Amino acid sequence: MLGNKFAKATAAAAGLALTAGLVVAPASAATKEIVIWADDTRGKNLTALFAVNKNAAPGYKITVKAYSTFDALKEALDKSTAASGPDIIYGASDWTAANVKNGKFAPFTVTAAFKARYSKTDLDLVSRGGKLYGVPLDINAPALAYNSKLVTSKPQTFGEMVDFYLANKSKYDFGMCITDGGIAWAGHGLFSALGGGAYQFKNGAIDKTSPFDKTALTANIKKYILDSSGKSNGFLKNINGGLCKTQFAAGKVPFAIVGQWEISTYEAAKVRPTLLGVPGPTAGTAGKFLGGVSAAFLTSSAKAHGVEAGAKSLLTNWIGSTQGQLKYQQLEKRASAEKGAAKSQIGSWTKSFAQALSGNTIPEVGSVLGNNAGGSSYWEAAGNFWDAILSGKDVATEVDKFHTLLKKNLDAGAKDL
């Protein structure tokens, strides 16, 4: 699911939130309130956005409630009722299937002109049964980065990255880590590059036969991630967040998987990483990141609160407009999903991410990724898999267990496609 993946760190205090009331029309007894929920970073930006765009929803007061983490936001949505839930929620495209099924998301109609401003792929990610449930906001996927002051030539294969690290091991704390987004989401590009994957896509559709090739993944892990004794060679570190980000910015780690939302961190550190997909075992191949879109969803709570018309108008006439998207992305600094806004984005970082991700993503399929028919979901199981591998457990056994779990999830989740 999407990170900060916004961020996939575990929420220590899932229910804590900061609320900011933003009046976008003169307050009166007749003024109704549209409540928007978001995670901490988007919530902060939405607060600033609507504070200076007071005509976004004429006649309505917009209240932004920002949860402490992305996980806390999702937990709050899961626990919400029609009465207690938000009217609009800023979340991830892989939330669509489950929340349409449980009735928490509500559909709305848009014009053909509106649809023309978005790619069909992005609209499909937030649609079910031909009905639209959200407005795509930005392309949400990380990319591999390397510090060009340390690594002077673009690696063409996974082996080249490992060889560079091993040849310079005394200079670095480890070879690769994930600065944000977690080993399951942000690390999928790495997993895929080595031959794995929560699932594969074939001819534009999810391949229901097998999540990945067990033989290839087992061989590549042994070759690139472990030493001759079966222990970690030090290249990959299963950490997420602050330590990796700090070490990468300080030049103590040559390769890292980074997110678009981290641009300011590296600019402040005067680091300009080079971005690319995670190269595979052979030149010209690359792993597939899970590439969903962030989206603003209409909820069934809007109708229960009597503000459905206003929430729909806010989504279609302002949030989903070219100007609305552009103003929002000036704060978020991500690649807009709206074509007009995307053309107007001139930041070199945004363009670099777009180039790095071109052809190197597969759609997030929430009904499969979140399915736990195998005992736990991909989101929950991925970290345990990598912990087992890096702690020296038998690779073939762990790969077989993970494959079995993911195949059961794929079989069950595919029924909801």
Domains and CATH numbers, the chain: 17-140+292-348 (3.40.190.10), 143-290 (3.40.190.10)
Residues 62, 295: Cα–Cα separation, whole Å: 18
Structure tokens given for 162: 């490992």
DSSP three-state, residue 51: helix
pLDDT per residue of the chain (417 residues) written in tens, 0 to 9? 444 444 433 333 334 444 444 444 333 345 699 999 999 989 999 999 999 998 899 999 999 999 999 989 999 999 999 999 999 999 999 899 899 999 999 999 999 999 999 988 889 889 999 999 999 999 888 999 999 999 999 999 999 999 999 999 999 999 999 998 899 999 999 999 999 999 999 887 899 999 999 999 999 999 999 999 999 999 999 876 678 999 999 999 999 999 888 877 888 888 888 999 999 999 999 999 998 889 999 999 999 999 999 999 999 999 999 999 999 998 988 888 899 988 887 666 777 887 888 789 998 898 899 999 999 999 999 999 999 999 999 999 999 999 999 999 999 999 887
Half-sphere exposure of 361 (CA within 13 A, CB side): 24
Where do the H-state alpha helices sit in 225-338?
242-249, 263-268, 301-304, 308-313, 322-332
Strand pairing class (205-207; 292-298): unpaired
Beta bridge partners of 23: 61
Task: Name every residue whose Cβ is closer than 8 Å to that of residue 395 and which is 6 or more positions away in sequence.
Answer: 218, 221, 222, 226, 230, 389
The full length of the chain comes to 417
**From the centroid of its chain, how far is CA 14?**
19
Query: Would you say 345 and 329 are in contact if contact means Cβ atoms under 8 Å apart?
Result: yes
pTM of the model: 0.77
Environment class of residue 29 by beta-carbon count within 10 Å: exposed (0-12), middle (13-18) or buried (19+)? exposed
Half-sphere exposure of 142 (CA within 13 A, CB side): 31
**From the centroid of its chain, how far is CA 284?**
25
Where do the H-state alpha helices sit in 270-394?
301-304, 308-313, 322-332, 339-344, 348-357, 366-369, 378-390
